[in-house]
Amino acid sequence: MSSRRVTDAAALLLVFSMAVSVLLVRKVDQLRAGATLQEVLYVSSPKLLKRLSLGYDGLVADVYWTRTVQYYGSMHHAGGGNYELLAPLLNITTQLDPHLIPAYEFGGTFLSAKPPQGAGLPQRAVELVEYGIRSNPDDWHLYYDLGFIYYMDLKDYPGAADAFLRGSQVPNAHPFMRILAAQMAEHGGEAQTARMLWSATYQTTHDDHVKANAAAHLRALQVDQDVADLEHVVEIYHQRTGRLPASFLDMASAGLLRGIPEDPLGKPYRLTSDGKVVVTDPDDLPFVENGLPSDYRDPAVPKILPAN
Amino acid sequence: MNPRIYYIATNTFREAVRDRVLYNLIAFALLLSGAAVLVGQVSIDIERLVVINLGLTAVSIFGIVIAIFIGIGLVAKEIDKKTLYTVLSRPVRRWEFIAGKFFGLAGTLVVNTTFMAIGVFAALLYVSHHLQASDSRILVALYFIVLQFVMITALALLFSAFSSPLLSAVFAFSLFVIGSFAEDLRGIASLTHGAAGWLETCVAYLVPNFSALNVISQVAHGEAVAPQLIAYNTAYALVYTVAVLAGTVLIFERRNLK
């Protein structure tokens, strides 16, 4: 066999073998789905991992944070459910690198959010963010995140007010921290306060996903308010005429509305025969509490539209 | 097997076995297994775990070191000593030389691993006084370690075909470390979009997938390894090794040895 034929054969073999190896790796990955994450439990001691990392604990923390994001993403994509590895992964990540701020900010949200969006462990989220604050006392964002968890998931308004107040005392804290603390102390459970919090998140985040999530919550708050207002108008119409309106046009003709009301996405609201106001496309408006059709079921994974 | 490849492989095996460094490393591996026994005695209720973890890790690390440090010298040493010219002046093709060197070192590593495995089982027998049925899973972990050695040998040979021994060692060891995080790399690539994501995906599939070949923790905890995983890992290791050897032949055939 000439040298030329050998090199040609070797080149062909190289390309063919690499292509087959890619297919085999994909098969192996299917068999070992989540295996790398499961192995976390074998060495779950951050102290031991720190020693094993031979001083490269920052890099190992980055690897574990990436694994955490992958784990959360894969579980979330699969419709939520069991997030049992989330807390140990976050624990290892933050113990390896206590200054990894995104691990507290996003990790706290992953842990505290109700299933299927998150693990539904707000108390663990509080512990995580409190650890983050002890390790990074000068970062006001962590106090904000803590207040957010107290407010949204624990409904603990004094706790939220305290977190915002502590954060407001940090040098260079955003001025709205003091306002939030006051607002929380006086009007903890009101929709206006929730709107303020989500607006603050929307304005301060640099992450597109967080921004889109905040926008979705702001739209949901708007819909809840719109539906309550519109149903109040329906009630007025009922009192005046003794019957329920057949459509929004009836209410407009009676001078109670200026036209067909639209949701924040520009789609018209619908009026049911029993006088209830519902949104046209509930899938596009996750987190809405009022205005959902009676036979509507939430999708496993909420549809979050881009912020803009 | 082609008789020329067989002779080169046999000579490579003999040369490696005569190598004092090789003997030292085996002695170290056995010593580490012995240390596992001592650590096991001072631990509480994890003697077996420590012996299996430490023993298999020692087998893996020492084997990788042997594969890299012997593998990088396989071609370079022959060129330095001018013995390569003597070999190639006979009716031996360059690809046969590469194949013979590869099989010689792979055989050496299999023999080494066998001895080290005996040491691990002896240490396990010493701490628990009997072997359990689940201990047979250790053989799977050892088999996967041998597959790693085969791949690393091919990679060391690839680098030694065009680079200096020192750089070849650095490249081979770096690739071993990167390959141990191959699953993470693919995970990161799947989260990245656009040209960067495409590039990351290519790199992630190009590096050897050593992460799936490490089941030490799994078998130490008595967990079974799926037969399909054994089959796919075997196929993958062989196919990847063939690809790397094909690359080595490609480079070595074109290399100017004058």
Enumerate the residues of chain B whose CB falls inside 8 A of the CB of residue A29: 183, 186, 212
Whether residues A31 and B226 touch (CB distance < 8 A) is answered with yes
Helix (H) or strand (E) holding B128: helix B94-128
Residue among A266, A236, A229 nearest A250 (CA): A236
Enumerate the residues of chain A whose CB falls inside 8 A of the CB of residue B228: 31
Chain A closest-CA separation from residue B205 CA (Å): 6
d(CA A75, CA A68): 11
Whether residues A25 and B205 touch (CB distance < 8 A) is answered with yes
Chain B closest-CA separation from residue A273 CA (Å): 47
Transcribe B31-98 into DSSP letters. HHHHHHHHHHHHSSS-HHHHHHHHHHHHHHHHHHHHHHHHHTHHHHHHHHTTHHHHHHHSS--HHHHH
Chain A closest-CA separation from residue B92 CA (Å): 11
Percentage of chain B modeled with pLDDT above 70: 90
Enumerate the residues of chain A whose CB falls inside 8 A of the CB of residue B190: 70
Whether residues A10 and B95 touch (CB distance < 8 A) is answered with yes
Q: What is the pLDDT of residue B37?
A: 65
Chain A closest-CA separation from residue B247 CA (Å): 6
Q: What ipTM is given for this predicted complex?
A: 0.77
d(CA A144, CA A167): 7
Whether residues B239 and A20 touch (CB distance < 8 A) is answered with yes
In this structure, what token pair is assigned to residue B183? 């699953």
In eight-state DSSP terms, residue A260 is -
Whether residues A24 and B235 touch (CB distance < 8 A) is answered with yes
Q: Which residue would you say has higher pLDDT here, B98 or B255? A: B98
Nearest to B243 among A14, A29, A66 (CB): A14
Chain B closest-CA separation from residue A74 CA (Å): 10
SS3 label, residue A286:
coil
Q: Which residue would you say has higher pLDDT here, B186 or A49? A: B186
Q: Is A258 on the interface with B (CB under 8 A)?
A: no
Enumerate the residues of chain A whose CB falls inside 8 A of the CB of residue B182: 25
Q: Is A6 on the interface with B (CB under 8 A)?
A: yes
Surface-to-core class of residue B195, CB atoms within 10 Å of its CB (0-12 exposed, 13-18 middle, 19+ buried): exposed
Chain B closest-CA separation from residue A190 CA (Å): 38
Q: pLDDT tens digit string along B191-249?
A: 777 888 888 888 889 999 998 898 887 888 788 889 999 999 999 999 999 999 999 99
Across chain B, mean pLDDT equals 85
Residue among B150, B170, B126 nearest B236 (CA): B150
Whether residues A10 and B249 touch (CB distance < 8 A) is answered with yes
Q: pLDDT tens digit string along B27-69?
A: 767 776 677 667 655 555 667 777 888 888 888 888 898 899 8
Q: Is A70 on the interface with B (CB under 8 A)?
A: yes
Q: What is the pLDDT of residue B45?
A: 61
Enumerate the residues of chain A whose CB falls inside 8 A of the CB of residue B211: 36
Per-residue pLDDT of chain A (308 residues; tens, 9 = 90+): 677 888 888 899 999 999 999 999 888 888 776 665 555 555 667 777 777 666 677 777 887 888 788 788 777 777 666 788 888 889 988 988 888 898 999 899 889 988 877 888 999 999 999 999 999 999 999 999 999 899 888 988 889 889 988 998 898 888 888 878 877 776 666 777 778 878 887 887 777 777 888 888 889 889 999 999 999 999 999 998 889 898 888 888 888 888 889 999 999 999 998 889 999 988 888 888 888 888 888 776 667 777 76
Q: Is A41 on the interface with B (CB under 8 A)?
A: no
Enumerate the residues of chain A whose CB falls inside 8 A of the CB of residue B242: 13, 17
Q: What is the pLDDT of residue B110?
A: 92
Q: Is A45 on the interface with B (CB under 8 A)?
A: no
Q: Is A76 on the interface with B (CB under 8 A)?
A: no
Cα Rg, chain B, nearest whole Å: 20
Q: pLDDT tens digit string along A190-204?
A: 777 778 878 887 887
Which site among B236, B252, B256 would you substitute to test the A interface, given the most A Cβ atoms closer than 10 Å to its Cβ?
A: B236
